[in-house]
Structure 1
Amino acid sequence: MMSSMTGYGRAFCESKSRNFTVEIKSVNHRYLDLNIKMPRSLLALEDRIRKAVQGSISRGKVDIYITQTVLETENSKALFNKNLCDSYVKCLNEIRELYNIKDDISLSLISKFPDVITVEEKDEDVEDIWEVLKKPLKEALDTLILMRRREGESLKGDIEKKCTDIKVLVDSIDDKSRNLVDNYKVKLNNRINELISDKNLIDENRIAMEVAIFSDKACIDEEIVRLRSHISQLSESIEISKPVGRKLDFIVQEMNREANTIASKASDVNIVHLVLDIKNDIEKIREQIQNIE
């Protein structure tokens, strides 16, 4: 199933010790550009998070936001630095006596001094945290991928319709191109007749040569065959379930190249107008493909 590169997923998980909220959003990008924003305490899990995403997504700019709420923990402990506190109190008493300051030394004042009370964080079990986090991560990824696939199906339907429209235009060009040489021969004869009053002076061999040269230069059979082939390749490729964005981009470039060649070789204004319609549809397909994984 074809996927786009635009999507959003969100999941929440609650456990006894902590809650996790995982949000993932993605937009189109040439490669996989993965950015993770999460608490520093989870940095040890970054590699696992990256591998989980890389296993599901191959292209796109992907932003992951992970928030954590710790409900209860036995891993934190407040520590009292008695020696430092003694030093602070001694200094305060000296200042009070020196400057005859009558303010009392309060508990709230001492507790605000740096490093008198510190919090010691013990290392948490990474495996336990991962067991909780991987569930909302997977749910958010699944939601994101589902949205990308739904949009991919919408893009696929639009591309299929435009491929059908282009086929009709190519058929019209093919029909008109069959009369190019005959029409040129008639125009050439008429032009020569205008310039030369005596028709006996007309060199039929020379006219035949000019028509042959024109036929060789104006022949667009090969371009039509290749353009039809590219359309078929495009139609077949959008049915592939694996990422095909880069392949589709290449095929569309080749389609545009053949259309340009047909326009430059054809001397019929009606064919040129049909080519312009084809190029317009090709450009619309190209814009859609930019968002396909």
Structure 2
Amino acid sequence: MVASMTGFGRASGQIDSCLLTVEMKSVNHRFLDVSLKMPKQFMSSEDKIKKLISQSVSRGRIEIYVNLEGESLVDKSIHVDWELLEQFVNSLHQIKERFSLKDEVTLNQILGLSQGIDILEESISSENVENKLLLIVEAAIKQLVEMRKIEGDQLAVDLKQRLEDISILTVELEKLAPSVVEQYRERIEKRLAEYVSGKVDENRILTEVALFAEKADISEELTRIHSHNHQFSETLKASGPIGRKLDFLVQELNREANTIGSKANNGDIAKNVVELKSIIEKLKEQVQNIE
């Protein structure tokens, strides 16, 4: 089955008094690349989330956003460094006496010592919280994968039409190929007749035509195009990631089309080759979206 690398998934659920929402989107990428943005209290679950992704997705850049609404899943507490504050207050009194200052030591001055009073946050980590998080992530992944499959089905329809167009053009080129040699023979005979007053050396013509036929023969390239087309069609039916194989086949199709174009010595063949290369280019663009 064809799966696109483009998709979106979203799921949400309650964790204690908080609403947790997981959104993920995927775009084209040569490999699997997962980017996570989430509250720091969930960072310990990062590897497990990435593992869940890799079990369902093989290629693409996946951006995951975890948003928490409501009371934060952390315990907060105040920590006072009494020893440091005592040194600070003593130092202020010493400065006051040393310079004969009249100002009193105030609470604001003490609180201004940021190193002395800290607010500590400790994550409420529990297996239950992590399990709920992972369940929500799994639901978002399921939606993402489903969307990638739906888009993949649409891509498959388009690709099959392109393959049919390539097959039609290849058959047309097969019909045109023999006429190229015959047209060349007629041109050779005409030119030789002009130079030798109508007396033509048949052996020389046969030699010239044979050399040209060998250089202009495109039968092997056309056979390989049929073969690549068939492999492409069969690969579309395969399970698992197929994008890289399809990309290789497109490169081979393009190689054969270029070779035919370089051999072409006929306007009709050249016209068909231009159309063939245009279809292959569209095929290539679509293949870039396939997992």
Return the TM-score normalized by structure 2: 0.88
Q: Distance in 2 between matches of 1:84 and 1:223?
A: 84
- What is the CA–CA distance in structure 2 between the aligned matches of 1:204 and 1:81, rounded to whole Å? 110
% same residue: 39
The answer on whether the counterparts of 2:39 and 2:66 sit within 8 Å (CA) in structure 1 is: yes
The range that moved more, 89-98 or 266-275, is: 89-98
Task: Provide the residue aligned with 1:217 in structure 2.
Answer: 215
Q: What does residue range 62-73 of structure 1 map to in structure 2 within 5 Å?
A: 62-69=62-69, 71=71
Deviations 1:9-53 (A, max 9, x none): 122111225432211111111111211122222221111111111
1:85 Cα offset (Å): 5.0
Gaps of 5+ in 1: none
Q: Hey, what does 2:224 align to over in structure 1?
A: 226
Q: In the alignment, is residue 100 of structure 1 matched against residue 102 of structure 2?
A: yes
How far did residue 285 of structure 1 move?
Answer: 0.7
Q: Which amino acid aligns with 2:265?
A: S
SS in 1 for 2:56: coil
Residue 157 of structure 1 pairs with residue 151 of structure 2 = no
Stretch moving more, 275-284 or 258-267: 258-267
1:130 equivalent in structure 2? 130
Tell me which residue corresponds to 1:237. 235
8 A contact 1:36–1:63 mirrored in 2: yes
69 and 112 in structure 1: CA distance in 2 versus 1, 3 angstrom threshold: farther
The alpha carbon displacement at 1:131 in A equals 0.8
Residue 173 of structure 1 is matched in structure 2 by 173
Q: Please list the CA deviations of residues 68-122 of structure 1 after superposition, one character each: whole Å capped at 9, or x if unmatched.
A: 3463768433344455555556666777885334x7945x775554255433444
2:280 paired with 1:257: no
- Cα separation, partners in 2 of 1:36 and 1:83, compared to 1, 3 Å: same
Give 2:271's aligned residue.
Answer: 273
Q: What corresponds to 2:9 in structure 1?
A: 9
CA distance in 2, matches of 1:242, 1:203: 62
Q: Secondary structure of 2:5's partner?
A: coil
> Contact 2:250–2:284 (CA<8 Å) still a contact in 1?
yes
Does 212-221 or 243-252 show the bigger shift?
A: 212-221
CA distance in 2, matches of 1:72, 1:268: 74
Question: Superposition RMSD on alpha carbons, in Å?
Answer: 2.4
CA distance in structure 1 between the partners assigned to 2:57 and 2:93 by the alignment: 65
User: Does 2:246 correspond to 1:248?
Assistant: yes
- Structure 2, unmatched stretches of 5+, are none
2:201 to 203, 212, 222: 203
Counterpart in 2 of 1:37? 37
Cα pair distance change 1:48/1:126, threshold 3 Å: farther
Letter of the 1:100 counterpart: K
Q: Say which SS state the counterpart of residue 155 (structure 2) adopts.
A: helix
Is the deviation greater in 11-20 or in 159-168?
Answer: 11-20
Does residue 19 of the first structure (1) align with residue 12 of the second (2)?
A: no
What aligned pairs does 1:186-201 form with structure 2 within 5 A after superposition? 186-199=186-199
Q: Give me the whole-angstrom Cα distance separating, in 1, the residues matched to 2:185 and 2:137.
A: 71
- Give the Å deviation of 1:241: 2.6
